[in-house]
Structure 1
């Protein structure tokens, strides 16, 4: 068990010893010289040791005090460093936000727009975590998740947006088939994204489902290149390898830059996305700022699309 020590008195002693002056120590500690002298007497009584000797107008450390004053100074420095570290840790915790999203959503949608949030909320440090599966997503520690399923976790959940599935390919491939939607869907090579088949919540169509629903008859629908990641499939489509069922959230930039072009109507069922927020962090300022920003961002995009 540690001995109960008078820390204020020790601080007064160390400051006086370091400054060789009661007056300077009092100025440093923002107290009166009388208070410093009182604290030093209190410490001497506690230790039953004399700490200073007065010589005319000067004070000098006793032999015992001189032998230990540097160790006391180092001890106070350690305490000060520990307090600063605790303050920094608490500050970091209050300004940090962890956001989880699938690898493809984070790469092709969130990160390209994230600089807008960091510019308007410079005090918030955002950590992005990515996942490939629902299990991985729900096992991650995160303040906010962007997901396309209804979670069974105990969290606040709210709709964010709806994603469309749109057949897209490179402009060159579309031109080879006369830029005609029906001809492209009947004859152009198809590329498949295995991970997206069925979707996280069953709403993503595969090519067989899409073509059947649009009344397109085609042999060998399962034939063609296959990919297990949407991003890889998008690069392949941009290179002219085939037509993919592109996810509107991921292909927006490629469409805008002309690397991909839509070749037919979107699928009639949209896939919803949700914001799942930790109850513990719901009222934290970083999370409130991010939720407000991202919902307004999505709403402005939706309004622009409708217009």
Structure 2
């Protein structure tokens, strides 16, 4: 059993600290001044130390109580968010998703916006996992997105979008490298991803440039980090065209050799077969498949 202090007393403590006033805290909580004072006293007795210092009519948490206050506020915030999400399920729906950070940031969330605007009562909750694997997931999701096919009992997996990678860099950096052919990229700094350390070597092979070993350059934990470095002119990144569509369209990045494409396994979605019984879930997947078709058909040349 958890050993918790009195929750009403914690509410009084947090409200008093926020208002720097017992009177205002009492008004917010709808109780008397003396009730709040008594709750704070009971909390001080529980912890065996003073929680507030008085400065005239103002009260302020002691230095040691500030650490407690920060954690109490964070806990109340989490409870409030959980309550709101639980309440929002009534009469509406929740779609739970797990994806890798780069795919979530660079494609999934932006391409979900039109569905969310059309279905404001549906909550789309996106969580991320750093690993491409799914065995470590401890709870079920309506949709799981990964850069490879997946298998799970009573689930269906389907490819959602093409995975074709090429070299990308800022226009400013491109102008300094005098790029006549792919080999010229090695005059710049090549940015690598730890999850795909051989990507550059394999891409150069597509360009018919044979390298004895992987070219040097810094390694990043996630694609979106190497991408940001490329946007800021720190080097040349390699990544899927589908994740940089907006950057290419806005000229934040250029792909000087986009005719040379390193094919990958494709981005896939895995979902329980029962998920498609829900019209909201069917509509969500259909919306993403429509966005993916646009991306595949509008691949820059």
Partner of 2:243: 250
Report which of the two structures shows the higher radius of gyration computed on alpha carbons: 1
Contact 2:242-2:295 at 8 Å conserved across structures: no
Return 115-124 or 88-97, whichever deviates more.
88-97
Q: Which residue of 1 aligns with 2:223?
A: 230
What's the counterpart of residue 146 of structure 2?
Answer: 147
Structure 1: gaps (5+ residues): 1-84, 198-204
Alignment equivalent of 1:128, drawn from 101, 122, 126: 126
Q: Which residue of 1 aligns with 2:163?
A: 163
| Secondary structure at the counterpart of residue 282 of structure 1 | helix
Count the aligned residue pairs.
214
Is 2:265 aligned against 1:271?
Answer: yes
Deviations 1:52-73 (A, max 9, x none): xxxxxxxxxxxxxxxxxxxxxx
What is the CA-CA distance between 1:139 and the residue it aligns to?
3.6
Question: Equivalent of 2:281, from 262, 287, 295?
Answer: 287
Q: Who is 1:111 aligned against? A: 109
TM-superposed deviation, 1:93: 8.0
- Contact in 1 for aligned 2:166/2:260 (Cα 8 Å): yes
Please say which of residues 292-301 and 212-221 is displaced more in the overlay: 212-221
SS in 2 for 1:271: coil
| Post-superposition CA distance 1:184-209 (Å, at most 9, x none) | 33422211111233xxxxxxx52122
What's the counterpart of residue 52 of structure 2?
A: none
How far has the Cα of 1:247 moved from its partner?
A: 1.8
Cα distance 1:207–1:305, how it changes in 2: closer, same or farther (>3 A)? closer
**CA offset digits 1:162-190 (Å, max 9, x no partner):** 11111111111111122423353342221
Distance 1:157 1:291 in 2: 12
Change (3 A) 1:288 1:211: same
Asked if the contact 1:164/1:269 (under 8 Å) is kept, the reply is yes
Query: How far does the alpha carbon of each residue in 1:104-130 deviate from its partner, in whole angstroms, 9 at most, with x for none?
Result: 111111112222111112221111111
- Deviation of 1:231 after TM superposition, in Å, equals 0.9
Deviation digits for residues 213-272 of structure 1 (CA, Å, limit 9, x no counterpart): 422256874311211111110111112221111222322222122111112233342331
Give the structure 1 partner of residue 77 of structure 2: none
Is the alpha carbon distance of 1:209 and 1:153 closer, same or farther for their aligned partners in structure 2, counting shifts above 3 Å?
Answer: same
- The verdict on how the C-alpha distance between 1:137 and 1:119 changes in structure 2, with shifts beyond 3 A counting, is farther
Partner of 2:39: none
Gaps of 5+ in 2: 1-82
- Checking the alignment, whether the CA contact within 8 Å between 1:174 and 1:180 is kept in structure 2 is no
Q: Is the 8 A contact 2:206 2:260 kept in 1?
A: no
Q: TM-score, normalised by structure 1?
A: 0.62
SS in 2 for 1:174: helix
Alignment RMSD: 2.7
**2:209 maps to what in 1?**
216
Residues in 2 aligned to 1:235 and 1:112: alpha-carbon distance in whole angstroms: 17
Q: Residue 259 of structure 1 corresponds to which residue in structure 2?
A: 252
Cα displacement (A) at 1:279: 2.5
- Counterpart Cα distance in 2 of 1:136 and 1:258: 39
Decide whether the 8 Å contact of 2:192 with 2:237 is kept in 1: yes
| Cα distance in structure 2, aligned partners of 1:91 and 1:185 | 51
Q: Does 1:206 align with 2:204?
A: no
Partner of 1:67: none
Structure-2 change in CA distance of 1:231 and 1:140 (3 Å): farther
Q: TM-score w.r.t. structure 2 length?
A: 0.63
Segments ≥4 residues shifted beyond 6 Å: none
CA displacement at 1:148 relative to structure 2:
2.0
Contact 2:159 2:267 in 1 (8 A): yes
